[in-house]
C-alpha cells in the first residue's frame, strides 16, 4: 500500500484513523475553549501573499542555520512527548529529521533516552522545563551535554491548564493488565497501530527516561509531572543562571510579549521561539504569527527569533519568515506524519513543507528565503497584536 500523503491535513486524517481515540486526543490537545488552538491556524489563513511575475530566478535556496547548526530547510522539529504514537517514537522523528537535513528538539518528557536520539540525529536540542531543584536540572542538562546535545531549549510557558470543553482523553499512569482491559475496546479497533507494537513485542512506554536523575530508574509520566507542578515557577534570574550553566547554544521557548523578549536578551539567550505551546496553555493567548513582527523588530538584531504554532504548509513557513522568523518549529505536523507512516511519514511532512516553501518562493519571485520581507505578505487590518512594550 502506498502510504505517501500530499498534505499535512491528509496525514492528520490518517492519524485519526490509525491511532486509538485517546492517543489521537492527546496529540490534538488544546485547552479550555480551544480559542488559541484555533487562532494558531486561522491567523495563517488571514494572511495573503503579494506574488510577482517574471522575476527570472532559476534556483531557490532554503538553507539556513539555527543555533549555529546548518539546516537544509527553515523548519525544525519542535519538542513533543510522543508516547504511544509509534514504537520508534522520537527515534523515528530523529532519523527523519537527519535524513532531511534538519534539527530536532527532544522533550524531557519524551519516551526515548537522549543518548539514543543524539545517536540518530546529532543535531538534537534537548528541551527542559523548570522542574525540580537546581541540582536536578543541572543533572539532566549535564547528561544531555555528555550525550552530545547540540543546544538547550528551556520551555517556560506551561500553565497547568487541564480542562477542555470537548473532554480530555484518559491517560494511564502505566500499562498493566487492568489498564489494557480498560483500553482494549479502543485499541482493538485500531489493528494497524496494535500490530506495529506487537511486531516489536512492545507496549507503549509511559516512563520519561530523560527526567531520571542520578542513575535512578526512569520515573513515570505522572510522577515527573507532579514534581513539576510543585516546583516554584522560574524567575529571570533562574533563566540567566541556567543559560550560564549550559554555556552552549540556548533557546527560550514560549515568548509572546515584547518586554519578555527583551528580558530574554538580557538573560543572555541566543534564540527565542515565539510560541503559545501549540494552544495547549493559557487559552486566549494570541497566535504567535500575530505578535511575531513586533517581537522581531525589538530583538531580531540581537538574537535568533523562531516561531512555532499552527504551521501546516510551506506557505505558512514563508509567511512566518516574511514577518521576521529565522525558521519555524513544527509540533503536530510531525506527529501526524509519525502516526500515519513512522519515519517515512515525518520525512513526507518535511518534504511537503520544503515543496511548499519552494513553490511560494517561486510565486513571490524570490531566489532565497533570505530575500523574503514584510512586503511579500498582505496583512489585513486588525491582524497584528502587540503584547508588552
Ligand X SMILES: Cc1cc2nc3c(=O)[nH]c(=O)nc-3n(C[C@H](O)[C@H](O)[C@H](O)COP(=O)(O)O)c2cc1C
Footprint of ligand X on this chain (CB under 6 A)? Answer: 26-27, 29, 40, 78-81, 107, 109, 127, 155, 253, 275, 277-278, 280, 308-311, 330-333
Least separation in angstroms between residue 280's CB and ligand X is 6
**CB nearer to ligand X: pick between 253 and 263:** 253
Task: Pick the closest to residue 320 from 100, 92, 76 (CA basis).
Answer: 76
Query: 277 an active-site residue?
Result: yes
Identify which of residues 40 and 343 has a Cβ nearer to ligand X in the complex.
Answer: 40
Least distance between ligand X and beta carbon 245 (Å): 19
Q: Which has the closest alpha carbon to 129: 284, 308, 252? A: 252
Q: Is 107 or 343 the residue whose CB approaches ligand X more closely?
A: 107
Selection from 109, 140, 104 nearest residue 125 by Cα: 104
What's the grid cell of residue 216?
A: 535512578
- Residue whose cell numbers read 549550559: 246
Is the Cβ of residue 26 or residue 66 nearer to ligand X in the bound state? 26
Q: How far is the CB of 122 from ligand X (least distance, A)?
A: 20
Note whether 255 and 275 are within 8 A (CB).
yes
CB of 367 to ligand X, least distance (A): 28
Task: Select the residue whose beta carbon is closest to ligand X and give its number.
Answer: 331
Residues with Cβ within 8 Å of 320's Cβ and at least 6 positions away in sequence, in order, are: 289, 292, 307, 311, 328
Q: Is 330 within 8 Å of 307 (Cβ atoms)?
A: no
Beta-carbon count within 10 A of 61 CB: 15
> What DSSP element (H or E) covers 124?
strand 124-128
Contacts 24+ apart (CB under 8 A), 168-177: 168/25, 169/21, 169/22, 169/23, 169/24, 169/25, 169/26, 170/22, 171/22, 171/26, 171/206, 171/221, 172/206, 173/206, 173/220, 173/221, 173/222, 174/206, 174/220, 175/203, 175/204, 175/206
CB of 84 to ligand X, least distance (A): 10
Those residues with Cβ within 8 angstroms of residue 146's Cβ, 6 or more apart along the chain or in another chain: none
Residue whose CB is less far from ligand X, 206 or 366: 206
Smallest gap, in angstroms, from Cβ of residue 78 to ligand X? Answer: 3
Classify 345 as helix, strand or coil: helix
164 or 332: whose CB is closer to ligand X?
332
160: helix, strand or coil: coil
Of residues 204, 210, 230, 208, the one with CA closest to residue 219: 208
Nearest to ligand X of 224, 366 (CB atom): 224
What's CA 108's distance to the chain center, in Å? Answer: 13
Catalytic residue among 57, 86, 162, 277: 277
Q: Residue 26 or 295: which CB sits closer to ligand X?
A: 26
Shortest CB 225 distance to ligand X, Å? 11
Exposure of 264 in the CB half-sphere (CA atoms within 13 A): 31
For residue 56, the minimal CB distance to ligand X (Å) is: 34
Catalytic residues: 277
Amino acid at each position: 500500500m502506498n502510504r505517501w500523503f500530499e498534505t499535512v491535513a491528509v496525514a492528520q486524517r490518517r492519524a485519526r484513523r490509525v491511532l486509538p481515540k485517546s492517543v489521537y486526543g492527546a496529540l490534538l490537545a488544546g485547552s479550555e475553549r480551544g480559542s488559541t488552538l484555533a487562532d494558531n491556524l486561522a491567523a495563517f489563513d488571514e494572511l495573503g501573499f503579494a506574488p510577482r511575475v517574471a522575476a527570472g530566478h532559476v534556483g531557490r535556496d532554503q538553507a539556513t542555520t539555527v543555533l549555529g547548526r546548518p539546516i537544509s530547510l527553515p523548519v525544525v522539529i519542535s519538542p513533543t512527548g510522543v508516547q504511544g504514537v509509534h514504537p520508534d517514537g522520537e527515534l523515528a522523528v530523529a532519523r527523519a529529521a537527519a535524513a532531511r537535513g534538519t534539527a530536532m528538539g527532544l522533550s524531557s518528557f519524551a519516551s526515548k533516552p537522549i543518548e539514543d536520539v543524539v545517536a540518530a540525529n546529532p543535531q538534537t536540542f534537548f528541551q527542559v522545563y523548570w522542574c525540580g531543584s537546581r541540582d536536578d536540572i543541572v543533572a539532566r542538562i549535564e547528561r544531555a551535554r555528555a550525550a552530545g546535545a547540540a543546544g538547550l531549549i528551556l520551555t517556560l510557558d506551561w500553565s497547568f491548564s487541564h480542562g477542555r470543553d470537548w473532554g480530555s482523553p484518559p491517560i494511564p499512569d502505566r500499562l498493566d493488565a487492568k489498564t489494557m482491559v480498560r483500553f482494549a475496546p479502543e485499541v482493538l479497533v485500531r489493528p494497524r497501530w496494535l500490530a506495529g507494537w506487537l511486531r516489536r513485542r512492545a507496549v507503549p512506554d509511559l516512563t520519561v527516561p530523560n527526567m531520571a536523575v542520578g542513575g535512578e530508574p526512569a520515573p513515570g509520566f505522572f510522577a515527573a509531572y507532579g514534581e513539576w507542578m510543585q516546583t516554584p515557577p522560574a524567575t529571570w534570574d533562574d533563566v540567566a543562571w541556567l543559560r550560564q550553566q549550559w554555556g552552549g547554544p540556548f533557546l527560550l521557548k514560549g515568548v509572546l510579549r515584547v518586554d519578555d523578549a527583551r528580558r530574554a536578551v538580557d538573560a543572555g539567550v541566543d534564540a527565542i521561539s515565539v510560541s503559545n505551546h501549540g494552544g495547549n496553555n493559557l487559552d486566549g493567548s494570541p497566535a504567535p504569527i500575530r505578535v511575531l513582527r513586533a517581537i522581531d523588530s525589538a530583538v531580531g538584531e540581537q538574537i535568533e527569533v523562531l516561531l512555532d504554532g499552527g504551521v501546516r504548509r510551506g506557505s505558512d513557513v514563508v509567511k512566518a519568515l516574511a514577518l521576521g522568523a529565522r525558521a519555524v518549529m513544527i509540533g503536530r505536523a510531525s506527529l501526524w506524519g509519525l502516526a500515519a507512516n513512522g519515519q517515512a511519514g515525518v520525512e513526507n511532512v518535511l518534504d511537503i513543507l520544503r515543496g511548499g516553501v519552494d513553490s511560494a518562493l517561486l510565486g513571490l519571485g524570490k531566489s532565497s528565503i533570505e530575500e523574503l520581507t514584510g512586503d511579500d505578505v498582505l496583512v489585513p487590518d486588525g491582524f497584528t497584536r502587540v503584547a508588552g512594550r
